[in-house]
């Protein structure tokens, strides 16, 4: 489903080039749940941003279902992202002038759904994430775990094929972390492909495979 070959990505650091991803090769199959680990600053978020089509690589290739994502123009990438990718950002920002319902419905505003279709979709994700009761809550009343559920709801409202999550349990207590992890496992059992960046070994261990980014390369983690 996802095939990345010889991918490179650098950022300019003043006059210097900061080579973040030097040579990334990665294949992820449909229906897999994989973890990406690595030190802070190793390029995990950068790789997720490339997978989501938010950042262009310098060179190499990225194929998604045999479509060459790096060759798409900006409209095509936007369409690709809308159809395929649900992204739970690190420190997901919810809009605190809108309630839970209106935060979750936001991505649908770029499609032409009727009000009743919108409502149906929202009901489904609210139920899936067990947050029906929070529907009309304002964002500042939510706990960390509840806020994360809303961020996940917003990411999956379009029913994406792939869910990308950047340290989704980073700031949560252990019990809440387990709840969130369970949700991802359920989505995975329902057929979603899941890519999680995590520092948490327990989260990583519940994935099918673990990749490790080090020195700009991404390798399968095969043991301790």
174-189 helix and 144-156 helix, angle to the nearest 10 degrees: 20
Q: What x-and-dash track marks residues 70-109 binding Mg ion by CB under 5 A?
A: ----------------------------------------
Applying CB under 6 A, the site for ligand ADP has a residue count of: 11
Closest approach of ligand ADP to the CB of residue 52, in Å? 13
Closest approach of ligand ADP to the CB of residue 216, in Å? 10
Does position 214 bind ligand ADP by CB under 6 A? no
Question: Cβ closer to ligand ADP: 46 or 103?
Answer: 46
Calpha distance 108→16 (Å, rounded):
41
Residues in 10-39 at the binding interface with Mg ion, rule: CB under 5 A: none
Contact window for ligand ADP (CB under 6 A) among 35-43, 74-82, 91-99, 141-149: 35-43
**From Mg ion, ligand ADP, none, interface partner of 46 (C-beta below 5 to 8 A by class):** ligand ADP
Strand arrangement of the beta sheet that strand 209-214 belongs to: 67-68, 59-64, 2-13, 16-28, 217-220, 209-214, 33-37, 193-197, 162-166, 85-88
Q: What angle do CA 120, 124, 129 make, to 5 degrees?
A: 150
Does position 45 bind Mg ion by CB under 5 A? yes
- Extract the tokens encoding 88: 């739970």
Question: Cβ closer to ligand ADP: 38 or 160?
Answer: 38
Closest approach of ligand ADP to the CB of residue 168, in Å? 13
Q: Which residues on adjacent β-strands are paired with residue 211? A: 36, 220
Q: Is 182 exposed, middle or buried (0-12, 13-18, 19+ CB in 10 A)?
A: exposed
Distances (CA, A) of 146 to 37, 78, 161, 182, 208: 25, 28, 23, 14, 26
Residues in 44-103 at the binding interface with ligand ADP, rule: CB under 6 A: 44-46
Question: Cβ closer to ligand ADP: 44 or 192?
Answer: 44
Instruction: Give, for 81, the enclosing helix (H) or strand (E).
Output: helix 74-84
Residues that bind ligand ADP (CB under 6 A): 11, 18, 20, 38, 40-46
């Amino acid at each position: 489903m996802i095939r990345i070959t010889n991918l490179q990505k650098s950022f300019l650091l003043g006059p210097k080039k900061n080579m973040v991803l030097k040579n990334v090769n990665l294949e992820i199959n449909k229906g897999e749940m994989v973890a990406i680990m690595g030190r802070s600053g190793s390029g995990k978020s950068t790789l997720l941003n490339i997978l989501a089509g938010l950042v262009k690589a310098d060179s190499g290739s990225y194929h998604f279902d045999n479509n060459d994502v790096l060759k798409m123009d900006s409209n095509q990438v936007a369409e690709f992202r809308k159809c395929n990718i649900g992204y739970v950002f690190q420190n997901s920002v919810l809009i605190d002038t809108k309630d839970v319902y209106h935060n979750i419905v936001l991505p649908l505003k770029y499609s032409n759904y009727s009000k009743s279709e919108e409502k149906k979709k929202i009901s489904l994700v609210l139920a899936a994430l067990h947050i029906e009761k929070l529907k009309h809550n304002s964002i500042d009343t939510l706990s960390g775990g509840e806020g994360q559920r809303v961020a996940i709801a917003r990411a999956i409202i379009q029913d994406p094929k792939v869910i990308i999550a950047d340290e989704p349990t980073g700031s949560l207590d252990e019990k809440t972390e387990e709840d969130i992890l369970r949700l991802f496992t359920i989505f995975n059992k329902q057929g979603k492909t899941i890519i999680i960046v995590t520092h948490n070994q327990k989260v990583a261990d519940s994935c099918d495979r673990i990749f490790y980014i080090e020195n700009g390369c991404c390798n399968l983690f095969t043991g301790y």
